[in-house]
Amino acid sequence: MTISLKTLSYIDGKWTEPSLGGYFEVINPANNSVISSVANCGSQDAVTAIRAASKAFQFWSKTPAEQRAEYLYRWYKLILQHQHELADLMTRECGKPLSESLSEVVYGASFLQWFSEEARRIKGDIIQSPNADKRFLVNKQAVGVCAAITPWNFPLAMIARKCAPALAAGCTIVVKPAEATPLTALAMADLAEQAGIPAGVFNVLPASEGQEIGEVFSTHPLVRKLSFTGSTAVGKILLKQAADTVKRISMELGGNAPFIVFDDADIDKAVEGAISSKYRNAGQTCICANRFLVQEDIYDKFIAAFSEKVKSIRVGDGLQPGIQQGPLINNKAVQKVDALVRDAIAKGADLICGGKVHELGGNFYTPTIIGNVDKSMAIAHEEIFGPVSPIFRFTDEREAIAMANDTPYGLAAYFYSQKMDRIWRVSEALEYGMIGINEGIISTTLAPFGGVKQSGIGREGGHYGIKEYLDIKYLCLGGLT
């Protein structure tokens, strides 16, 4: 079977027109052409989908784990079978190079495989009782109906990372994908349907604006769990709205990731890691390096090696062979990145390379490095979400740690050092949920993904991920003698 371009919402196993009849355009950021028009769902569609998910929960939560695992595994196999179609669609929607899209499809599918296996491993406990006539048991049960709001920068992987553990645990789910990338989400729904996942278990609501649906998700009493990936500002709004119904919450929010290079680092490996971390998806990732902190003794050497690599990055339409960096998601993103660069230069930063809209125009921005950045510049504090590397100097380990932690965010951090004592000291001192040590790419299905401080609540991935979708129920059994 093949996948076709779906443009309607997917509710209760049916491809459904929006309740108010509206549609919105999905734009290819590489050329600003219209890919398709998609159903524009609103609050009534969200309520309909939640009710369908609630109805489906009554039987899905009672479906044996072995069967839930089989559904997820079939979905996983279908995604791999159609990986090239999905990658092509993803590149057209969000602009990332085709090679990166293919990697994301495989990465995203791996969550379905992993959690198909974890569905079989949901375990309870028996607690030894001090009383002969009592037994204490701990059971784990699915939370209930879940809602997920996912970002455009990883339109397949973020859905899989939330939905796979939810379905494995016995929950049903309603997904609101980002307005820029609904087609990839709807393609996943098409494959879920082909995998035989029952009606109402997995639902997708495309919408041009997230506020209306987000409010329904965070306030509706039938929704027992909300998972959100996006900005800290929006996350705080959803948290406040969810408080009245005391929902379970997972939040993966903004970041300001430091990338520290100590004077004992292998500079070639540090440069390789910096390229991988910073310029993947044109710097539009939640965990990419946002600030480069380089020890002063190797500052010039690192910049020379790093800039040589950055200048060679091939920019263009992600569907073209050999392209390493595609466009930013839209012109607003370009304007933000350019404003941050101009502010830094105006306040004394050195422009090492790039620093302007690419000669291709449109949403393309040149891979950029700026040096001698300091705290007075906006780029030191804001999440860039673009292909710009601001580089700071530091003198010693204590200063590096203080600079790295001087932010309300705590999602990911990176550092390069060959000294084992330093590796332990720094990794324990950094206030972040994930740390790459001599490594620029840290995401994996096997490990917990999430942050601390204002970067979020909860974890996704690994055996920790399914716990977010399970309630613990204590059973006290008496009268046994």
Q: How far apart are CA 317 and CA 322, in angstroms?
A: 10
> Beta strands 409-410 and 14-16: pairing type?
unpaired
For residue 80, give the amino acid letter: L
User: 252, 397, 460, 468: which one is catalytic?
Assistant: 252
| Helix ranges (DSSP H) in 318-396 | 331-346
Alpha carbons 170 and 145: distance in angstroms, whole number: 9
Q: Which residues contact 8 (CB under 8 A, 6 or more apart)?
A: 15, 16, 17, 18, 38, 39, 186
Q: Which of 399, 82, 423, 46 is nearest to 206 (CA)?
A: 46
Cα→Cα distances 442→54, 281, 411, 418, Å: 36, 15, 12, 18
User: Helix count (H) and strand count (E) of the chain?
Assistant: 13, 22
286 classed as catalytic: yes
Give the CA dihedral 460, 463, 469, 474, nearest 10 degrees.
-140
Closest CA to 435 of 420, 449, 456: 449
Gyration radius of the chain over CA positions: 23
- For the chain, give the longest Cα–Cα distance: 83
Chain-centroid distance of CA 146 in Å reads 17
Count the Cβ atoms, other than its own, within 10 Å of residue 308: 11
Strand partners, 229: 252
The H or E element that residue 141 is part of is strand 135-142
* 476: annotated active-site residue: no
The rounded distance, in Å, linking the Cα atoms of 215 and 213 is: 5
Beta bridge mates, 453 = 409
Question: Given 286, 288, 353, 397, which residue is catalytic?
Answer: 286
Distance CA 466, CA 237 (A): 25
* Residue 222 and residue 171 in contact, taking contact as beta carbons nearer than 8 Å: no
Pair type for strands 291-295 and 223-229: unpaired
Q: How many CB atoms lie within 10 A of CB 165?
A: 32
Strands (E), 360-438: 368-371, 388-394, 409-410, 412-416, 434-437
Give me the active site residues, please: 252, 286
